[in-house]
């Protein structure tokens, strides 16, 4: 355990030291993965499906705030939808406007969740997001996770109905619009996932805020089981064709990732828990103090030893008579060697004074 704690402290120290370089690199990589995933999944506009454009936009995202990445990812997806059909782009614009007006305007810090949730769906590990936001976020995080789920299923509806939409005539605009709306709103799998993720976020948040021992670990296990149970029950009720093995493996992987988050964010030593009681004129206070688990990393100290020594001659000032100019007397054979901690027999300063 000590080795893991030292590893954590080294990572924190490295990040704090090179944060100004690490953050742009992370944002560049995240933007490149997100935009490249959009191009591979949608890819209806050939001009955007270009590695050079993806690299340039990703480089621009590395210098922009996180909301800039969200905005550019939305533009990329809308451009691909417009290349497929104007009606599909209108549906996407309406959904993004609802997201902005209802959530992003008041809580822009969690706007990245809407980008990460579809990305985790594409990587087949979507169950990480509700556990992570339950541990790190607030009850309002259920809204951001829900919007991320709807954004993913909108793109799924576009990809599913793209062959049919591309064969329709221009006069069938209403039919195309109705097809994409029905495929999006009538998706029962989306409803099940939104409900499951929202309940999981709230449950994990409530449990990890409790004062009981190992509350974060209990919240992780309970949240993973609750999420898995709701998804399976929804699959039985609405026949959403959820792969059972994928749900189980995804929940286990999500719990493992959540434990890593707990290690870096909430690592405490319950064996040294203290309970304190005190009072004032109006209240009694019962306080439970749990110390954080930390370790001091060893540091290397290099001492430079200078073997070269020099002699300093001790002088004193002698006054013979009042009014006479003072003269300096330098005793012979009295010297002090600097650079050595070993006293010599000749260093007798008492005879000088």
- Please give the full DSSP string across 188-223, using - where no structure is assigned: HHHHHHHHHHHHHHHHHHHHHTSSSTTHHHHHHHHH
Helix 128-136 × helix 215-238 angle, to 10°: 140
Backbone angles phi, psi at 237, to 5 degrees: -75, -40
10-19, 76-85, 311-320: range with highest mean pLDDT = 76-85
Tokens (6 digits) for 240: 């959403």
Higher per-residue pLDDT: 168 or 187: 187
Q: Which of 181-195, 213-227, 282-296, 321-335 has the lowest mean pLDDT?
A: 321-335
Tokens (6 digits) for 235: 């699959």
Residues 288-295, mean pLDDT to the nearest whole number: 73
The Cα 110–Cα 239 span in angstroms is 32
- Tens digit of pLDDT for each residue in 231-270? 999 999 888 888 888 899 999 999 999 999 988 887 776 6
Q: Which of 116-125, 151-160, 184-193, 307-316 has the lowest mean pLDDT?
A: 307-316
The b/e string for 60-76 (b: 16+ C-beta within 10 A; e otherwise) is: ebbeeebeebbbbbbeb
Give the count of domains, the chain.
1
Tokens (6 digits) for 178: 């109705």
The Cα 231–Cα 227 span in angstroms is 6
Q: Return the sign of the alpha-carbon dihedral for residues 95, 96, 101, 102.
A: positive
| 228 pLDDT more than 60 | yes
326 confidence band (pLDDT: 50, 70, 90): very low
| 134 pLDDT more than 90 | yes
What confidence score (pLDDT) does residue 305 get? 60
Q: Which of 16-20, 39-43, 311-315 has the lowest mean pLDDT?
A: 311-315
* Contacts of residue 42, Cβ cutoff 8 Å, sequence gap at least 6: 77, 80, 81, 84, 155, 158, 159
| 196 pLDDT more than 50 | yes
Whether residue 212 is contained in a domain is answered as yes
Backbone angles phi, psi at 343, to 5 degrees: -70, 145
Percent of the chain with pLDDT over 90: 37
Instruction: Assign 287 to helix, strand or coil.
Output: strand
Whether residue 339 is contained in a domain is answered as no
Whether residue 205 is contained in a domain is answered as yes
Whether residue 154 is contained in a domain is answered as yes
Whether residue 317 is contained in a domain is answered as no
Instruction: Assign 268 to helix, strand or coil.
Output: strand
Whether residue 35 is contained in a domain is answered as no
The Cα 314–Cα 299 span in angstroms is 40
The Cα 128–Cα 119 span in angstroms is 11
- The parent domain of residue 244 ranges over 85-267
Residues 123-148, mean pLDDT to the nearest whole number: 91
* Contacts of residue 160, Cβ cutoff 8 Å, sequence gap at least 6: 183
308 confidence band (pLDDT: 50, 70, 90): low
Largest CA distance in the chain: 124
How many Cα atoms within 13 Å fall on the side-chain side of residue 129?
30
Whether residue 157 is contained in a domain is answered as yes
- Tens digit of pLDDT for each residue in 327-346? 544 444 444 444 444 444 44
């Amino acid at each position: 355990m000590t080795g893991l704690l030292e590893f954590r402290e080294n990572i924190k120290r490295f990040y704090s030291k090179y944060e100004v370089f690490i953050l742009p690199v992370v944002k560049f990589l995240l933007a490149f993965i997100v935009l490249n995933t959009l191009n591979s999944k949608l890819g209806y506009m050939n001009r955007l499906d270009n590695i050079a454009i993806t690299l340039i936009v990703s480089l621009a995202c590395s210098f922009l705030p996180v909301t800039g990445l969200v905005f550019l990812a939305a533009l990329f997806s809308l451009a691909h939808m417009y290349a497929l059909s104007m009606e599909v782009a209108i549906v996407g614009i309406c959904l993004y406007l609802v997201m902005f007006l209802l959530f992003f305007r008041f809580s822009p810090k969690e706007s990245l969740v809407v980008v990460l949730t579809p990305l985790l769906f594409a990587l087949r590990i979507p169950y990480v997001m509700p556990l992570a936001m339950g541990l790190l976020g607030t009850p309002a995080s259920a809204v951001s996770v829900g919007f991320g789920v709807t954004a993913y299923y909108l793109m799924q509806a576009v990809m599913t109905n793209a062959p049919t939409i591309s064969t329709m005539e221009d006069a069938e605009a209403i039919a195309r619009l109705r097809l994409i709306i029905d495929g999006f709103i009538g998706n029962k799998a989306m409803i099940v996932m939104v409900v499951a993720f929202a309940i999981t976020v709230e449950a994990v948040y409530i449990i990890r805020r409790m004062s009981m021992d190992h509350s974060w670990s209990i919240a992780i296990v309970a949240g993973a089981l609750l999420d898995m149970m709701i998804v399976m029950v929804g699959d039985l009720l609405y026949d959403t064709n959820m792969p059972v093995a994928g749900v189980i493996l995804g929940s286990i992987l999500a719990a493992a990732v959540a434990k890593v988050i707990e290690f870096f964010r909430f690592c405490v030593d319950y064996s040294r828990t203290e309970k304190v009681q005190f009072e004032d004129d109006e209240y009694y206070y019962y306080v439970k103090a749990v110390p954080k688990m930390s370790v001091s990393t060893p540091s290397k100290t290099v001492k430079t030893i200078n073997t070269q020594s020099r002699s300093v001659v001790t002088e004193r000032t002698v006054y013979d008579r009042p009014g006479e100019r003072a003269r300096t007397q330098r005793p012979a054979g009295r010297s002090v060697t600097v650079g050595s901690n070993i006293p010599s027999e000749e260093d007798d300063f008492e005879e000088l004074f």
